[in-house]
Structures are given as C-alpha cells and as structure tokens.
Chains A and B, each alone.
Chain A
Amino acid sequence: MPFYSAAIMTKNCHNDYKMKFSDVEEFPDLSLHNNHMAKVLTKDMYKKLRSKSTPSGFTLDDCTQTGVDNPGHPFIMTVGCVAGDEECYEVFKDMFDPIISDRHGGYKPTDKHKTDLNFENLKGGDDLDPAYVLSSRVRTGRSIKGYTLPPHNSRGERRMVEKLSIEALATLDGEFKGKYYPLNGMTDAEQDQLIADHFLFDKPVSPLLLSAGMARDWPDARGIWHNDAKSFLVWVNEEDHLRVISMEKGGNMKEVFRRFCVGLQKIEAVFKKHNHGFMWNEHLGYVLTCPSNLGTGLRGGVHVKLPKLSTHAKFEEILTRLRLQKRGTGGVDTASVGGIFDISNADRLGSSEVQQVQMVVDGVKLMVEMEKKLEKGEAIDGMIPAQK
C-alpha cells in the first residue's frame, strides 16, 4: 500500500479499547434481523474478525453497523454491510465471501468475473418500441484506487476525489463536453434546472445510508457533472466515488450503452494517466461501497408501459426467468404509476456488462410482445421463457 506504513497498519485505538469486552458482550443482537449480514455473521466469525482492521482503520463493526441498525424488511433482503475501503473485502473475507455468494447467485470465492465494455458486442437493442419503452438508462459506479470509500472517507479524501473527478471530466470533448455543478455553490437557477432534468441528487434520507455514515459533511465535495446534451451524467461522492449514467428518451438502448461504454472508458483513461485507476480485481470486478454492486455495478433499465402484463399472474415468474427486476418509476422502493415500470437487470456479479444489458434488451423486447398480445386478448402461455 503506497500510503500506509506497516507501523500504522493495525493501530485503531477505539477498536483496541473495545477488545476489553468479550466477544459475547459485544456481539450484536440480530434476532429480529433479516438481511444478508445477519444471516451470515456467527459468533465465531465475529470473534475471529473483531480485532482486525484495514490499513485505514475500518473495522468489522464499521462494516456491519448499517445492518445492525436496520433489521431489514420481511420481503426485501438488504445487504446489511458496507466496505470502507478496498481492503475490507480481503481483511473481512470470511464474512464478505458468504454474503457475496448468497447475494450473487452462488458466486464462489474462487470465481473470476469478466468485464466487457465493448458495446459492439451487444446484439440489437436499437429497436425497442418507443410506444411502450419511454426511456432507457444504464448506470454504474466506480471507486478511485487509493482513497477510502464514502462510509469512511475524511473530508480531505472526499475533496481529492472530487478534484480528480473534475479534472478528468473537464478533459472530455465532443458529445461528452460538459460542466460540473458542485452541490455547495449551485445557484438557484442551476438547481431548478437540475431538478427539472431529474439530475439532482439529494442528501440521503434512507436510514441504510445514514447508518453507514455516507451523509457526513454534506454537501461538501459532492456534485453533479453532465454533458451539454444531457445524455451523460456523473454523480460525484454520493453513494460511491462516482456514479456514471447514460440515458435518453425512447428505446434505443444500443445508443445508450454505446455512449456509456465510450464515456466510461475515456474517464478511466484520464484517471489511469494520473496513476489513479479504478478499484478492480479479477475476482470481484469493480469494487464499490455496497457488496450488491460488485462486479459490473451496472443497472441497465427502461421505463416501460406494461399495464396488462404487470397484472398477469405470471409476471413475477417471467421476470425471475429473464433475470430482471422491477421497480417503480421513482427508483428503488417506489411504486409504479399508471402501469409504467422500471425494468432492469437483477445481476451484477458473474456476468459481464454486455451480457447484462443483452438480458435487458432481449427481456424487454419479449415483454413488450407479451403486452401487445394481452392487449389483443390473446394468451402468452407459449411465450413464457426458460430460466436464463
């Protein structure tokens, strides 16, 4: 590690202080909990890991605090832990590996993840029916190597991430030429415009994020960058160092994905030039704050009108088989309005970016066909797909 000497590595004063209480006295009460962390964390595991900390000082309790504070929901399985730096996934692998396996369909500690950001490998995707597919969007996250993550980073670190991001984004040109709007220092007019464009992100209110310390020092060093055409957007220091979003109205996912890949790779090239590549390894792919976003960190989705299909008895089954998930049009945990759903890939780890977007393209195409059949009063039984 270029920044920390071995002498600093294990010294976390507060953690040492806690060690005078036995592991039984410190073990959290998870009896009412239903999240991945609560399913996986045992007393033995806690005992083994609690004295450790990463070089930057992140501890097991730091990882699990959000899962302790937020027992979960009977129907939604939250992850219940976060990473504070890249090393967490190594230092606390005894806990993270089973969580990752559980969350990412059996992904094993020895598995390798494939990255494929070559948009030309996507087949089709330029002909989703715009009468049904209202908008298309692909997003991912990226972490800058050498800095700790949003649950843990200090103001100095966060500001450096912002500085490096602004420098990198300022070099973009052509279709990517754009402007940065720091949250701190936006004019009212700029703010209104960003809200109208649905670009502005707010201070987190979700207790999942607050418990993990991601709202500290808000809005210091947070901001939004977008290109002039408003089709490529980067969030700086929200839930991850960077969130990169490509979007446009209509169903041309192919174009959205092209712009996504090209833009992302341009940004990565600039960061690499300054010796600050993205956190990535061949086992976990892109390393992000929440274990649920490991791998591609990619969510590719559409807003699509499916009033009939969404009320069909087999709707959930179809989604499961297509490896897709539904959300309301306000994002995660919102309700759908007027039969319009946000449909996106369910997977993040174990398949590549191209594969995941392919599943969205193929799956949405099928669902629109099914919707059309149902409109005509016809059955869709013959169209039910096999499990992907």
Chain B
Amino acid sequence: MPFGNTHNVLKLKYASSEEYPDLSQHNNHMAKILTPAIYERLRSKQTPSGFTLDDVIQTGIDNPGHPFIMTVGCVAGDEETYEVFKELLDPIIEDRHGGYKPTDKRKTDLNPDNLKGGDDLDPNYVISSRVRTGRSIRGFCLPPHYSRGERRGVEKMSVEALDSLSGDLKGKYYALKNMTDAEQQQLIDDHFLFDKPVSPLLLASGMARDWPDGRGIWHNDTKTFLVWVNEEDHLRVISMQKGGNMKEVFNRFCTGLTKIETLFKDKGTSFMWNEHLGYVLTCPSNLGTGLRAGVHVKIPNMSKHAKFEEVLKRLRLQKRGTGGVDTAAVGGTFDISNADRLGFSEVKLVQMVVDGVKLLVEMEKKLEKGQSIDDLMPAQK
C-alpha cells in the first residue's frame, strides 16, 4: 500500500517520539486511546501480511473527527490486526462497544424463529424495513490493505457462491466496471448502486484503491436481497422491502446469509469469526454482528418532542436521515436502527428495533391526538 507506511524498518531509525503523530486537534477513539508508550511498543510490529500500526491509525490521524460525532479513527487490514495490535484495539473496542472487555465472549444467533413479532409494524408509519451486515472471507486481507489479486479473488469466490443460490434468492451479479448504462440506471433507481467512496475517512485508509476493479453488486430477481462486493468490507449483505414486516426481512436475511456461508464452507473457506469479536470486519465499530437493522419511519411529532433523544437512548436505538449516516431527516421521516453491534446477538438487536419502533409509533399516534406520552417512557434497556 503506497500510503500505509509499510516500509516499517526504515521508520524505526527515527525515535518513537519523532514519529509519534500530532493528535492535539483530534477527537476520535484512536486519539483518545493511543499514547506514546503504546506507540513505542507496537510500532515495530506487523501482521504476517505486512500491516503496521501506522497503517491501522492513518485514517484517524488524517481525520481529526468532529466535536459531536465520535469516529473510530482506525481500521484493520487483516484478521490478525486485532491480535497483533490488541493493546490499542481492545480499549478502543471497549470504549466504542459499551464496556466490552477483552475476555468477553459473544453470541451469534441467526435463527429468525427466535424473533418475537415484527410482522405488524404499521405501514402507515413504517415505510420500509432493512437489515444489513458485513462479512469478511478468511484468508484474504481486508479492503484497506488487499492487493488487486486478492480483491479479485474475493470477487470470484463471492460470485461463484451467489450464482448457486436458488428459489427466491436466485439473482445476478453486476460488476461495477462493465455495467451497461441501462443496468446502471436501473440500479440507481432501485437505490442499490454504491459509488466510489468520497468520505475522507475511507479514502485515507486506502479503500478506494483500483476503483472500480473487483467491485460489484449482486441482487435477487425480486430485489429484496442484495450483496455488495468489495465496497467497505468484502461483503455487505442487505435484506430489505417496503412496509413494516421486519420479521420477513430478517427471515430472508438469516436464510440467505446462512446459505451463503454454507457455500463458502463447501469451498473450503469461511467467514472471519471468533468467539471474542464475533464477525471480524474492517472497522472496529462493526465488530460482533456487524448488523444494522432499521426502518424508515414517519415520526414528525415524536421527533420534535423534548424527550426524543432520551427515548432513543433508552431503547438503544440511533437515528439517521433517510440518506444514511450523516444525512438529515426529510419530512419527519427518520432512519431508526440499533445502536449496538457487539455484545448482543443478531436476534436481540433486531428485537430491540422491532419493539422500539412499535413503541415509537404508538407514541407518535398519541402525540397526534394531543395526548401525553409520559406513561409510555421506556426503561433503559
């Protein structure tokens, strides 16, 4: 990687203090945790594929952060990053994921039958439902670090696996680099197409290299199950549909994901996973389930209520605009999703969304009638 300072040996002739980054203007998890002592201990190390401490933290140095949004400020270049640099990453994980300790173990639960309810969210308010996660293929480096050969290897393996899906999951792959104009327009209209990253957070960590080589979008014929290949992670898997039937969305999500994982296992590989971190992804914020389940919901009254933020916090939910992270809400329609990723199972997280959104809609209806919602205030989950 040209800008990851992988020429580690050369740098060691400078003292640790000469190489230590200036983090005085910074407000991200990495800047909070990194100390000169940690830097000194870790800077001579590298993972077997050659990822170094400076590679991990470059994005956090180049992007000081925002006074209100706490970015992570570091990425993993391969599975081993989380082990070799655990002295830095464990405290960051703990800080980001609500006190998750280095000894904690996490539970994967992708059994959709364990979800209670979720099929009756009022479609007058809940416009659409969606569940997404990421997956990394063991044996390959991650997007900040991998070479073209590796990225193409990930694409090839993914396309082979996806091509063998059948039934309502049967679909087609559209490689970004040889899409026809018509295909591209259709994917844009469906809101499926992802673009070359423009966020400096991603660019600084090398994730846009060689664009659009090795990148593509796969979706099933009914356009309810979508896989992004080699965007921010090896795979992003998305299940979605209009309306409020989160149960069905989650059902399809679990079924599809499990089928894909089986296909990879049949080929002698698997997803990066361990019992401490769960699914291993590029950004530490996505560890665990990597799952974001959410709805677009009309809550114009609720969202202006003085206790809106408090309610979200207690329900362990977060709000975003309908354009995704860092966008504004339009017309009182919000994207409401789970705030957690690590420390809860998939079922648990989707349950929190289902129960929380149901409550928010009830509150909205009360406020419409001019009634108070004080007695509906939930306890902290």
Q: Which A residues fall within an 8 A CB radius of B?
A: 3-4, 8, 11-18, 21-22, 25-29, 55-58, 61-62, 65-66, 68-69, 84, 148, 151-152, 154-157, 159-160, 184, 210-213, 215-218, 220
Contact = CB atoms under 8 A, between A and B. Distances in A.
Given A25-B153, A68-B210, A69-B211, A58 B7 contact: yes
B147 interface: yes
Interface string B3-16: 10111111101110
Contacts of A159: 18
Given A151-B3, A210-B203, A65 B50 contact: no
A57 B7 contact: yes
B149 A22 contact: yes
Interface stretch (B54-62, B310-318, B331-339): B54-62
Nearest to A57: B7
Nearest to B61: A217
B122 interface: no
Contacts of A61: 2, 147
B147 A3 contact: no
B54 A154 contact: yes
B49 interface: yes
A154 B3 contact: no
Nearest to A70: B211
Nearest to A210: B203
Given A13-B6, A154-B19, A26 B147 contact: yes
Nearest to A11: B9
B148 A13 contact: no
Residue of A8, A21, A151, A216 with highest tally of chain B CB at under 10 A: A216
Given A21-B147, A29-B177, A68-B209, A13 B19 contact: no
Interface of B: 1-3, 5-11, 13-15, 18-22, 46, 48-51, 54, 58, 61-62, 141, 145, 147-150, 152-153, 177, 203-204, 208-211, 213
A157 B50 contact: no
B129 to A, nearest CB: 37
A189 B211 CA distance: 41
A99 to B, nearest CB: 17
Given A69-B210, A154-B19, A217-B21, A26 B148 contact: yes
A14 B14 contact: no
Given A21-B147, A21-B150, A210-B203, A14 B21 contact: no
Contacts of A15: 50
A188 to B, nearest CB: 15
Given A18-B149, A69-B211, A217-B62, 9 more contacts: A8-B10, A13-B50, A16-B50, A17-B50, A27-B148, A28-B148, A61-B2, A155-B20, A216-B204
Contact of A151 (B2, B9, B149): B2
A212 B2 contact: yes
A148 B149 CA distance: 27
B151 to A, nearest CB: 10
A384 to B, nearest CB: 45
A46 to B, nearest CB: 11
B18 A14 contact: no
A17 B48 CA distance: 8
A14 B148 contact: no
Contacts of A11: 9
A213 B14 contact: no
A29 B213 contact: yes
A211 to B, nearest CB: 8
B149 A26 contact: yes
A14 B49 contact: yes
B19 A156 contact: yes
Contact of B18 (A26, A65, A69, A156): A156
A154 B14 contact: yes
B22 A184 contact: yes
Nearest to A7: B9
B149 A218 contact: no
B11 A213 contact: no
A295 B37 CA distance: 44
B1 A14 contact: yes
Contacts of A12: 6-7, 50
A11 B11 CA distance: 13
Contacts of B21: 155, 217, 220
B152 A25 contact: yes
A160 B211 CA distance: 34
Nearest to B208: A69
Nearest to A59: B2
A33 B119 CA distance: 50
Given A29-B213, A69-B211, A220-B22, A84 B2 contact: yes
A127 B20 CA distance: 52
A58 B3 CA distance: 10
Contacts of A21: 147, 149-150, 153
A146 B9 CA distance: 15
Contacts of B8: 13, 57
Contacts of B5: 154, 216
B62 A215 contact: yes
A56 B58 CA distance: 19
Nearest to B145: A14
A157 B14 contact: yes
Contacts of B211: 69
B10 A14 contact: no
A154 B20 CA distance: 10
Contacts of A155: 18-21
A155 B62 CA distance: 12
Nearest to B18: A156
26 contacts: A12-B50, A17-B48, A17-B49, A21-B147, A21-B153, A25-B149, A26-B149, A28-B213, A29-B177, A56-B10, A58-B7, A61-B2, A65-B210, A68-B210, A69-B208, A155-B20, A156-B14, A160-B18, A213-B2, A215-B204, A216-B3, A216-B58, A216-B204, A217-B61, A217-B62, A218-B62
Q: Enumerate the 10 nearest inter-chain pairs by beta-carbon distance, A residue then B residue, closest first.
A: A213-B3, A57-B7, A21-B149, A156-B14, A14-B50, A13-B50, A25-B149, A62-B2, A156-B18, A26-B149
Contacts of B58: 216
Most buried by B among A25, A28, A212: A25
A68 B50 CA distance: 22
Nearest to B214: A29
Nearest to B64: A218
A154 B209 CA distance: 20
